[in-house]
């Protein structure tokens, strides 16, 4: 046990021994009575701060005698706990050997030591692992070592369910705290809980502590005869400082050199605009709010003049007609003419108009409206520049037109009726494929920069005329199906076929294209490779006369349409995937959706069939929209639009939305019927194509006119 302080020991030594024994008995009775009250008391609440203070104040004498910093001793003599400022339990105290070392002390010292209630000196900690993290013993069966070096076994902990049931039955379970360091549960006393509750409320731990004690002035000023410092005033307080003068010189030189600049005082304008606008005034924009100036009154004009022109003065008939008008429609001021300004009388409505003006300024709310000055010409849709469209005609010419201006850029004389024209899908390769008779021309349009032109010239160069794919004829001789040759006249390549070619279609990569010869029998559909100048026929047997062919937008799938149905082939696996039964009299054209899973088919009887390839081989929807033959159908690349054109001189535009959800069917809605072409030789609109990016539709008619329809 620690020896008490000298002042408490001296005080105890001065008391008689009998008085000490009586005081000791009184203290023990007080502690026993408090323990009985504690066992019979109910659970405390947070609202009983004042009663706690009263209980502590009643027993204040016992606490004050035991000395500052000492706490109440519990009934058990072995363990005394104390709570530090952070609310943690600290098992204080020294070893029992400490008392044996002090046996030579006087009896008074022993008596004073026995009266000490300090919990720091009662019990020593069981665990002596030192400054070692407890996490190291997390997976071990023991937790530290005792003073003799033996392992301290961990106690078996209850699971959460058992501990919860035990806490329900035990009314003092909320006072128990698990000491992780010594692996034991410590029960807080009532006094310790009061201290914790006061600390949580931001108060002092002890109730007898006065946080607002009067200030004690330790220096007596009444009898002071001498000042704190009687040193004489230094000389530097009466002499100008040389360091300050140097600093002033530096500032003066900096000002003269312009290194230090001062803000010029604001000069108030002597004059101001009488009729000026105060919208730019910053003085009235206070408190961080946007200042909205009042609207200006209308300035007087020629009619308000005292001597206006004769055309401003109304006649008597006009004045009489004013009386028949509604009051809000009558003119508020009727011009009059006076010989001089002196003869002008007072305005009879001056007071009323001034009052109305004040009401407008005071009562009418103000709102700032943004005016946008827009040029009407900028609202008109502008056609993009440097975009071109190609056309082929029955007069044997191929032309390239500028979309923005309609100017014809270039003309090729083919010398035979043009059946089909198609652009290369790659923008960096502006090559045009043209089919006329038995020939297919790959023309260099001359568009693009120098690098692109060099690449195009290399692609369209044939060193030696090549013959490919010999086809046996009826006489036993062999003739070539296609021959590649250089066409110097038109600046490109000429592919000579053994039958007339009706259509040409490009692959999405721009290196392959296909041709269709309706009378070519088993070699009616051919596929060409531009980079290697190769020709190959499809390894499938054609059932019927082919009408058109096209490539899949994303996969290696090839579509061939005959007069009755559409067959879908896989070029890599070289097998038939699906056969679409159209159910129409004769197929005229087909188009593939950019997603690749939907196909539209146009027929000679005016019917348009929509096929969902994932759904069925039968048409999902049949649209009877044209009374005459459908000449062509087309899908837009990016917008959910498709169109059809017919010999009835009309073109229909539909909204065709394909959803990514396979459980939802496509949505087809008719949008517009486009007219404008005239019939010629019983033919109407021959072809229709969508713009690659804009929602525009180009139509070519038998009346030799190409029309552009914009949204």
Between 664 and 96, the more confident residue is: 664
User: Does residue 74 surpass a pLDDT of 80?
Assistant: no
Q: Decide if 481 contacts 525 (C-beta within 8 A).
A: no
Q: What pLDDT does residue 46 have?
A: 40
Q: Judge residue 12's burial from the number of C-beta atoms within 10 Å of its C-beta, 0-12 exposed, 13-18 middle, 19 or more buried.
A: middle
Over residues 59-77, the mean pLDDT reads: 38
Residue 120 has pLDDT above 50, yes or no: no
Task: Give the model's confidence band at 32: pLDDT under 50 very low, under 70 low, under 90 confident, else very high.
Answer: low
Cβ contacts of 430 within 8 Å, gap of 6 or more: 388, 423, 424, 445, 447, 448, 452, 456
> Pick the residue with more confidence: 444 or 159?
444
Q: How many helices (H) and strands (E) does the chain have?
A: 12, 34
Q: What's the pLDDT at 10?
A: 41
Q: Find, among 430, 434, 424, 460, the residue nearest to 447 by Cα.
A: 430
Averaged pLDDT for residues 377-391: 70
Q: Which long-range contacts (CB under 8 A, 24 or more apart) does 201-210 make?
A: 201/49, 203/49, 205/85, 206/56, 207/52, 207/53, 207/56, 207/57, 207/60, 208/56, 208/57, 208/60, 208/64
State yes or no: pLDDT of 295 exceeds 80.
Answer: no
Would you say residue 520 has pLDDT above 60? yes
Q: What percent of the chain has pLDDT over 90?
A: 33
CA angle 137, 141, 144 (to 5 degrees): 50
Residue 637 C-alpha from the chain's centroid: 28
User: Strands 621-624 and 630-635, how do they pair?
Assistant: unpaired
**Tell me, what DSSP letter sits at residue 343?**
G
List the 397-402 sheet strands across, edge first. Answer: 388-392, 397-402, 408-413
pLDDT score at 567: 93
Confidence of residue 52 (pLDDT cuts 50, 70, 90): very low
Asked if 344 and 306 touch (Cβ cutoff 8 Å), the reply is: yes
d(C-alpha 643, C-alpha 421), whole Å: 19
Spatial distance between the Cα atoms of 682 and 703, rounded to a whole number of angstroms: 10
pLDDT of 602 over the 80 cut: yes
Q: What is the pLDDT of residue 157?
A: 76
Average pLDDT, the chain: 78
Tens-place pLDDT, residues 224-263:
666 677 788 889 889 999 999 999 999 999 999 999 988 8
Question: Which pLDDT does position 390 carry in this prediction?
Answer: 93
**pLDDT tens column, 470-479:** 544 443 333 4
Mean pLDDT along residues 499-515: 92
pLDDT at 66 over 70: no
pLDDT digits (tens, 9 = 90+) for 157-193: 778 888 888 888 888 888 888 887 777 888 889 899 9
Residues 3, 102: contact at Cβ < 8 Å?
yes
pLDDT value of position 687: 93
List, in order of start, the domains of the chain with CATH numbers.
386-466+481-537 (2.130.10.10), 542-710 (2.130.10.10)
The predicted model gives 280-296 an average pLDDT of: 63
Q: How far apart are CA 510 and CA 512, in angstroms?
A: 6
Q: Does pLDDT of 397 surpass 90?
A: yes
Q: At what angle are helices 107-114 and 6-14 packed, to 10 degrees? A: 110
Tell me what percent of the residues of the chain surpass a pLDDT of 70.
75
pLDDT value, residue 298: 82
- The SS3 call for residue 589 is strand
Nearest to 501 by CA among 486, 523, 470: 523
What contacts 110, CB < 8 A, 6 or more positions away? none
Mean pLDDT of 142-169: 81
31 vs 682, which has greater pLDDT? 682
pLDDT at 150: 85
Q: In what order do the strands lie in the sheet with 697-701?
A: 685-690, 697-701, 706-709
**485-512 mean pLDDT:** 89
Tens digits of residue pLDDT in 540-594: 888 888 999 999 999 999 999 998 899 999 998 889 999 999 989 999 999 999 9
pLDDT tens readout for residues 621-665: 999 989 999 999 999 999 999 999 999 999 999 999 999 887 888
190-200 helix and 49-58 helix, angle to the nearest 10 degrees = 130
Position 59 confidence tier, pLDDT thresholds 50, 70, 90: very low
- Does an H or E element contain 82, and which? strand 82-83
Q: CA-to-CA distance for 198 and 135, rounded, in angstroms?
A: 33
In the prediction, which pLDDT does 220 show? 65
291, 363, 364, 636 from 358: Cα distances, Å: 18, 8, 10, 63
pLDDT at residue 12 is higher than 60: no
Taking phi over 0 as left and psi of -120 to 50 as alpha, with beta for the rest, 376 belongs to alpha
What pLDDT does residue 91 have? 42
Q: Are 122 and 133 in contact (CB under 8 A)?
A: no
Q: Give the integer Cα–Cα distance in Å for 337 and 316.
A: 14
Q: Half-sphere exposure of 617 toward its Cβ, with a 13 Å CA cutoff?
A: 9
Question: Model's pTM, two decimal places?
Answer: 0.48
Residue 209 has pLDDT above 50, yes or no: yes
Residue 592's contacts (CB-CB under 8 Å, 6 or more residues apart) are 550, 552, 553, 559, 598, 599, 635
Q: Which of 280-294, 301-315, 465-479 has the highest mean pLDDT?
A: 301-315
Query: What length does the chain have?
Result: 711
pLDDT at 271 over 50: yes
Is 120 or 299 the better-scoring residue by pLDDT?
299
> How many angstroms separate the CA atoms of 635 and 647, rounded?
19
């Amino acid at each position: 046990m620690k020896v008490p302080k000298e002042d408490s020991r001296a005080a105890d030594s001065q008391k008689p021994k009998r008085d000490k024994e009586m005081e000791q008995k009184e203290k023990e009775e007080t502690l026993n009575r408090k323990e009985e009250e504690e066992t019979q008391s109910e659970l405390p609440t947070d609202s009983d701060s004042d009663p706690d203070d009263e209980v502590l104040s009643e027993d204040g004498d016992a606490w004050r005698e035991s000395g500052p910093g000492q706490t109440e001793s519990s009934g058990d003599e072995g363990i005394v706990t104390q709570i530090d400022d952070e609310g943690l339990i600290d098992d204080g105290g020294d070893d029992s050997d400490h008392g044996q070392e002090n046996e030579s002390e006087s009896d008074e010292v022993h008596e004073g030591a026995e009266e000490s209630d300090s919990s720091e000196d009662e019990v020593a900690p069981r665990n002596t692992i030192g400054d070692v993290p407890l996490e190291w013993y997390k997976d071990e069966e023991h937790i530290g070592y005792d003073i003799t070096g033996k392992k301290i076994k961990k106690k078996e902990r209850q699971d959460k369910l058992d501990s919860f049931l035990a806490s329900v039955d035990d009314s003092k379970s909320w006072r128990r705290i698990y000491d992780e360091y010594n692996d034991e549960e410590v029960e807080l006393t009532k006094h310790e809980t009061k201290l914790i509750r006061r600390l949580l409320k931001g108060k002092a731990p002890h109730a007898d502590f006065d946080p607002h004690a009067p200030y004690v002035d330790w220096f007596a000023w009444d009898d002071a005869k001498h000042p704190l410092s009687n040193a004489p005033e230094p000389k530097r307080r009466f002499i100008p400082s040389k360091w300050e003068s140097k600093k002033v010189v530096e500032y003066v030189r900096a000002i003269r050199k312009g290194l230090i600049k001062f803000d010029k005082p604001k000069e108030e304008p002597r004059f101001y605009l009488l009729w000026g606008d105060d919208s730019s005034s910053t003085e009235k924009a206070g408190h961080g709010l946007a200042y909205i100036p009042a609207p200006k009154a209308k300035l007087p004009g020629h009619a308000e003049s005292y001597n206006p022109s004769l055309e401003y003065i109304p006649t008597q008939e006009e004045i009489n007609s004013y009386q028949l008008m509604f009051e809000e429609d009558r003119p508020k001021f009727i011009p009059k003419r006076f010989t001089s300004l002196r003869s002008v009388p007072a305005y009879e409505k001056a007071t009323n108009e001034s009052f109305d003006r004040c009401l407008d300024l005071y009562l009418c709310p103000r709102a700032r409206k943004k005016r946008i000055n827009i040029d009407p010409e900028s609202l008109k849709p502008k056609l993009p520049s440097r975009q071109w469209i190609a056309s082929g005609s029955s007069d044997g010419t191929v032309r390239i037109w500028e979309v923005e201006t309609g100017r014809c850029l270039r003309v090729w004389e083919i010398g035979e009726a043009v059946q089909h024209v198609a652009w290369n899908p790659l923008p960096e390769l502006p090559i045009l494929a043209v089919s006329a008779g038995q020939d297919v021309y790959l023309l260099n349009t001359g568009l693009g920069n120098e690098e692109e032109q060099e690449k195009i010239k290399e692609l369209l160069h044939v060193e030696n005329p090549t013959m490919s794919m010999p086809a046996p004829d009826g006489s036993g001789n062999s003739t070539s199906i296609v021959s590649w040759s250089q066409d110097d006249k038109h600046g490109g390549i000429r592919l000579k076929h053994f039958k007339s070619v009706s259509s040409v279609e490009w692959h999405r990569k721009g290196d392959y294209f296909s041709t269709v010869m309706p009378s070519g029998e088993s070699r009616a559909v051919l596929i060409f490779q531009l980079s290697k100048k190769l020709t190959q026929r499809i390894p499938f047997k054609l059932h019927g006369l082919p009408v058109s062919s096209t490539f899949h937008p994303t996969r290696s799938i090839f579509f061939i349409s005959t007069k009755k149905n559409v067959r879908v082939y896989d070029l890599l696996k070289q097998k038939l995937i699906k056969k679409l039964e159209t159910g129409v009299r004769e197929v005229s054209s087909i188009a593939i959706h950019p997603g690749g899973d939907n196909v539209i088919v146009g027929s000679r009887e005016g019917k348009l069939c929509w096929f969902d390839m994932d759904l069925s081989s039968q048409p999902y929807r049949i649209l009877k929209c044209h009374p005459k033959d459908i000449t062509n159908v087309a899908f837009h690349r990016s917008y959910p639009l498709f169109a059809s054109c017919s010999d009835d001189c009309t073109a229909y535009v539909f909204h065709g939305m394909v959803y990514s959800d396979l459980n939802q069917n496509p949505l087809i809605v008719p949008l517009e019927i486009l007219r404008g072409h005239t019939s010629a030789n019983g033919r109407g609109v021959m072809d229709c194509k969508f713009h690659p990016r804009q929602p525009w539709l180009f139509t070519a008619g038998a009346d030799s006119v190409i029309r552009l329809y914009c949204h």
